[in-house]
Amino acid sequence: MKAGIAFSDHSDAARAGREAASRAVALSGPPRLAIVFTTDAYPPQAVLEAVRRETGDSKLVGFCCGGILADDAWHPQGVGICTLGGDLRVRTTLQRGLDRDPYETGCRTADALLANGVANGTVIVLPDGFEANLSELLRGLYTRCGADFQYVGGGAGDNLKFFKTHQFTEQGCASRAVAAAVIQGLNLVTRIGHGWVPMGEPLVMTRTQGKIVHEIDGMPAFAAYQQHLGPISREEFRTRGMLHPLGFPDVFGRYTIRDPLAVEDGDSIRFVNEVPSQAVGNIMDGHIDQLIETAGKTVREAVSAVPDAAFLLLFDCISRATLMGDRFREELRAIRKAAGPRLPILGALTFGEIGAAGDVPQLHNKTTVAVAGGPLPA
């Protein structure tokens, strides 16, 4: 197999798509799959049409994200493409209706990917990150596909405008949808890391409603946070909360992160994604140095598991970049050091990250998902 990764931030959408695609195809040869990341500066249909003129009959999967990681830098505008050529088997699908029934959309997505008897492989999942209950989407997907597949991806978004985002395959563009692909014939290894550590005693989410946590340990959620962080104001919580998300342990002892957004009426707290009622977790503590170190470690573990790694894909939470500010460059340098000087890298800043510590895919926040790819072992 051969991989080609390229990026363009030309101001014209079609030109940017054409430049990135032609450069990537020159490296990979005729692709079987094009993975496309773009930003909200461009009309997505214009990007898609330009890319397809360069990639021909290739399958395609992509989305609009909050920024692109390319050339060892973060770009708020651009088109990044990874083309994959060789003896690969690929199937894609674009499923709408994520806003109406995420579980059923996950089932339809799986059924479309499995339609030709596909029995294993890696599923790339790119849902609209602004929609609710993405964990239900993953549950529906896993119910049909099961443990013979690995799952990776992230939520589509924009540059923190929270207005509208797009998902696409060679079949077209959509919003409130999920774009997905299943790949066979590659050695793909996924690793997940975030760097957050639990503080204090475990807490019970005694009353929640979707993304709103009303009560923790039987008291208003904000009051419970104040017991751990001190008498902070609602305004201070916007900053302090970024450093202290909730974390919920899994059977492997890893913590799945849920990111708080703001204090609301009645001292409830709104989170980026749903928090289950009666879940037991911790308020987490984070230090920028540890987050950076963990990103590098996550990439190192993924790349070292693929003997002839040809490319690296990253799904990195946009809130990590927001939290780190100028120091986000240090995370990118740590990633490059861990990957080695020559490995091509393409990443997206996502609104929720998808990966699995074991078999079952989960939705994460404030997390780095690294996917190293290369040829199957001989």
pLDDT of residue 160: 64
Give yes or no: residues 59 and 101 share one domain. yes
Tell me the residue length of the chain. Answer: 378
Give yes or no: residues 179 and 242 share one domain. no
pLDDT of residue 54: 98
Give yes or no: residues 99 and 20 share one domain. yes
Per-10-residue mean pLDDT, the chain, length 378: 97 98 98 97 95 97 97 96 97 97 98 93 96 94 96 89 86 97 97 96 96 97 95 91 94 92 95 94 96 98 97 97 96 98 97 90 96 93
- What is the DSSP secondary structure assignment for residue 359, as one 8-state letter? S
Q: How many domains does the chain have?
A: 2
What is the C-alpha separation between 176 and 88, in angstroms, rounded? 29
Give yes or no: residues 250 and 301 share one domain. no
Give yes or no: residues 297 and 271 share one domain. no
Q: Of 284, 303, 334, which residue is a domain's last?
A: 284
Give yes or no: residues 268 and 303 share one domain. no
In which domain, by residue range, is 243 found?
A: 197-284
Give yes or no: residues 353 and 336 share one domain. yes
pLDDT of residue 251: 83
Q: Of 240, 258, 284, which residue is a domain's last?
A: 284
Q: Dihedral of CA 212/216/221/222: which sign?
A: negative
Please give the model's pTM, rounded to 2 decimal places. 0.96
From residue 254, give the alpha-carbon distance in Å to each of 197, 248, 329, 337, 362.
10, 8, 26, 25, 12
pLDDT of residue 187: 97
pLDDT of residue 357: 76
Give yes or no: residues 328 and 269 share one domain. no
Give yes or no: residues 10 and 142 share one domain. yes
From residue 305, give the alpha-carbon distance in Å to each of 214, 261, 373.
43, 36, 9
| Contact assessment for residue 121 and residue 149, using Cβ atoms and an 8 Å cutoff | yes
Output phi, psi for 340, to 5 deg.
95, 160
pLDDT of residue 253: 86
